[in-house]
Structure 1
Amino acid sequence: MSLFSLTLRNVLHRRFLSLLTVCAVAITVAFIVLLVLSRQSVEQGAKKGYGPFDLVIGAAGSETQLVLNTFYHIGAPTGNIPLAVLDQAQRAPSVDVAFAMTTGDNHKGYPIVGIDTGYFFTRYGDSKLQEGKLYAHTGEAIIGSYVARSLGLKVGDSFAGAHGLVQGDEPESEEAEEAEGHGAGEAEEAEHHGEQDHGSFRYQITGILPELHTPDDRAVFTTVDYAWAVHGLEAEDREITAVLVKPSSLLGAHDLKQGFDGSNGVQAVYTSQAVSEVLNAVDQGSRLLGILTGICVLLAGIAILLSLIAAASERTKDVGILRLLGKSQVYVWLTLTTEGLLLTATGLIAGLLTGHLGAYLLKDRLFAQAGIQIEPYHWTPEHGLIVLGALAIGLLSSLGPAFRMYRMHPLALFKS
């Protein structure tokens, strides 16, 4: 009987304990794989999330909040700023290009973003739409590929937006709405219900963006003046949410920040700096997960060790017979180490598959919530380290029981 056949029979003989050991290894590996894929996706998504726009101008408040809302379509804007700020930015000699952005409405939870169509050429180059054409008039819109896929929208469809950045709940009845709104103003009632429908203003879909693998895939884009048209604002009341700026140089970005920051409730933010703060926060969470991962690795190693100790205790008589039949000490040593490696390798393969399957199942939810595109089929250099690390732990856990059997005399093994 070959060494592998003997090892396989020994593993199958102790099915339950072997299954527990494989599960412990598989869960640990799957957890590590999912952590690696998620961390890499967050880092890549954060880096390419803002494109060439190194500066953003918006209302005073949290810098991180302004950047996340502007480029990643997460959270609420810090407020509105005068339309004149766009004029000042575009006239600044250190500005290559600047675009106004208006936000505040949504369609079924996906943000409606007002921005000039030049934004797409500046950020993505001369890329063609997946279908249709860019918007040109108020009320026309294009949608991200994820929005089109999720909602089943196509070119020519129309829809109404709603106030707010998330889809709210409708009141259950007219009586409930009247009771809840009694004695409260229009703003308080809107806040209670989460959003206000803008059914009288319809958007016509003129095009669908290709897959950009950025947060723009899950947004609806239209003209900057959509918010003014929806709310019927006069020229003197018109404001914007932010100004996206592509400076002509790093020195130009510094001059712009100094010029706009802190004036009339306006702030200018280095995009990369705000994104770095978010990544630092993610790294802090990764360190905690790293500790948990280390504990899982330790438990997996203990599971392998206990399994092989139990196997060695059960198999002393069998090993004694093998030695009396002329099998060498090395053969006996290999039977246990091979068993440990077989259990580890089985758990490793199951863990790799489970980790990537988990990433596949989570990718849409993660992208919908944070605009982070996880790649479930991507293999990273860390995968090689995971494989080597798992096999090393399996081998090290096997050495103790294997050497114990290796050092015993065949008669002593048989008598025991």
Structure 2
Amino acid sequence: MNLLKLSWKYLVAKPLNTGLNILLLALGLAIITVLLLMQDQFENKMNKDAVGIDLVVGAKGSPLQLVLSSVYHIDFPTGNIDLKEAKGVSRNRLIKSVIPLGMGDNYSGYRIVGTNHDYLELYQVSFREGKPWEVPFEVVLGASVAEKLDLGLGDTFVGSHGIGSASHDHDDHDYVVTGILDKRGSVVDQLILTSIESVWFTHDEAHDHEVMHRPVAKTGFPETEEDREVTSLLVKYSNPIAAVQLPRFINSRSSLQAASPSFEISRLFELLGVGVTLIQGLAIIIIVISGLGIFIALYNSLKERKYDLAVMRAIGASKGQLFLHILLEGVLLTFLGALLGLGIGHFFLLLLVINFEQGALSSLSANVFLIEELYLVLFALGVGVVASLIPAFNAYRTDIATQLTK
């Protein structure tokens, strides 16, 4: 007697009831799957993008906004800071290294970031094609930018003022692609990198063509006698004591602001954690309701099948086999619901990534599978077992003589 096949036949015999229970369980598991995938990938990505950056220094404003805009490039900068003051801060003995950033423009929604070659070393990038920028208006493209915009070496484009939404084009100077980076799974995949001088000259009304053909600064700050600005500084401490003294010194004794990426991101996840917990709670409630639905369906069907169970006992089935037969129905229901739920969860995340080609969601992947998803399947099977116990026990107690007499 093939109990698995028999259990499957009973489930197929009531497709609407079976389908509703599977779908209800799948929806609950799909919600939890999406949350797990997004939370895990966001945390890994943010930790990866902040490696080597102990402090961000920029204009006064929201510390979280400063970190998000300068490290993760998913928010608007808090403003610009004076170059001379930035250089003064960088000379502090508690600072080991500084990487300046200049922002404010974009091309087709992708940010144009002015910096130096230290930024490439920070993220340990490798070139798929070409080389780093050497003179103003040469750019290096992140892998995702080159792929989405279909740009190659030697191609030119015009940047637009603003971040995310353009107000007008800077059509006085074309950017020239000199390098394309390998895909790293980090923030640089979504950036267009160039020199700080390029950002400055783009916004100049008067143009000194001789200056614009000079080699740019490959490390540190560009040398200039003019009053210039940068957007922010990425700082690495020289020793552990700097973590205590340097942020306090910058925030209290200068017009600048210092923000710790690790602290701000921890605070962000703490704030988001409340909402995630509430959604997970809702998903668990849906799963519990699904479990009750499976219990009610099996319990009610058992009343209709008492004669069938008695016949099975009469032709040689043991009490244990009847118990296992009903238990298998609940396990099959929840197993199918778990598989469907995981599939819906990954498919929904894929739709999000496709519809948001830029920004934080664009770096997520629906092809990632976590060990927690296996735990979800086991949890679903546990729900099926618990929901089936009482109906299975009633089947175990089936009285052959009484049922056949009726």
TM-score, with structure 1 as normaliser: 0.88
1:275 partner letter: I
Partners of 1:6 and 1:258 in 2: CA distance? 72
Correspondence for 1:136 among 119, 129, 134: 134
Partner residue of 1:9?
9
Q: Judge which range, 366-375 or 332-341, deviates more.
A: 366-375
| Contact 1:317/1:415 (<8 A) preserved | no
What are the Cα deviations for residues 303-349 of structure 1, in whole angstroms up to 9, with x where unaligned? 21122123212212211222233422222212111111111112222
Partners of 2:268 and 2:403 in 1: CA distance? 61
Task: State the 1:233 CA deviation.
Answer: 6.7
Partners of 1:19 and 1:322 in 2: CA distance? 27
Confirm whether residue 260 of structure 1 aligns to residue 250 of structure 2. yes
The correspondence of residues 371-386 of structure 1 with structure 2, limited to 5 A, is 373-386=363-376
The correspondence of residues 389-408 of structure 1 with structure 2, limited to 5 A, is 389-408=379-398
2:165 partner letter: Q
Structure 2, unaligned stretches of length 5 or more? 207-224
Q: Judge which range, 404-413 or 159-168, deviates more.
A: 404-413
Task: State the 1:108 CA deviation.
Answer: 0.9
Correspondence for 1:299 among 263, 281, 289: 289
Confirm whether residue 124 of structure 1 aligns to residue 123 of structure 2. yes
The correspondence of residues 13-412 of structure 1 with structure 2, limited to 5 A, is 13-121=13-121, 123-125=122-124, 127-168=125-166, 195-232=167-204, 236-365=226-355, 368-370=358-360, 373-412=363-402
- Three-state SS of the structure 2 residue aligned to 1:198 is coil
| CA gap 1:415/1:354 in 2 versus in 1, 3 angstroms | farther
1:296 partner letter: I
Task: State the 1:261 CA deviation.
Answer: 1.5
What are the Cα deviations for residues 50-106 of structure 1, in whole angstroms up to 9, with x where unaligned? 220101110011000000000111121111110013322332222221011111111
Task: State the 1:264 CA deviation.
Answer: 4.4
Partners of 1:335 and 1:72 in 2: CA distance? 54
Partners of 1:244 and 1:367 in 2: CA distance? 26
| Contact 2:83/2:227 (<8 A) preserved | no
| CA gap 1:371/1:136 in 2 versus in 1, 3 angstroms | farther
Partners of 1:56 and 1:403 in 2: CA distance? 64
Q: Judge which range, 14-23 or 227-236, deviates more.
A: 227-236
Task: State the 1:118 CA deviation.
Answer: 1.5
- Three-state SS of the structure 1 residue aligned to 2:170 is strand
1:204 partner letter: V
Task: State the 1:385 CA deviation.
Answer: 1.7
TM-score, with structure 2 as normaliser: 0.90
- Three-state SS of the structure 1 residue aligned to 2:127 is coil
| CA gap 1:371/1:295 in 2 versus in 1, 3 angstroms | closer
Q: How large is the Cα RMSD of the aligned pairs?
A: 2.0
Task: State the 1:116 CA deviation.
Answer: 0.6
Q: Judge which range, 355-364 or 314-323, deviates more.
A: 355-364
Partner residue of 1:182?
none
Structure 1, unaligned stretches of length 5 or more? 169-194
Partners of 1:406 and 1:83 in 2: CA distance? 82
| Contact 1:95/1:247 (<8 A) preserved | yes
| Contact 1:215/1:371 (<8 A) preserved | no
- Three-state SS of the structure 1 residue aligned to 2:126 is coil
Task: State the 1:216 CA deviation.
Answer: 1.8
Q: Judge which range, 242-251 or 361-370, deviates more.
A: 361-370
| Contact 2:142/2:180 (<8 A) preserved | yes
2:138 partner letter: E
| Contact 1:60/1:262 (<8 A) preserved | no
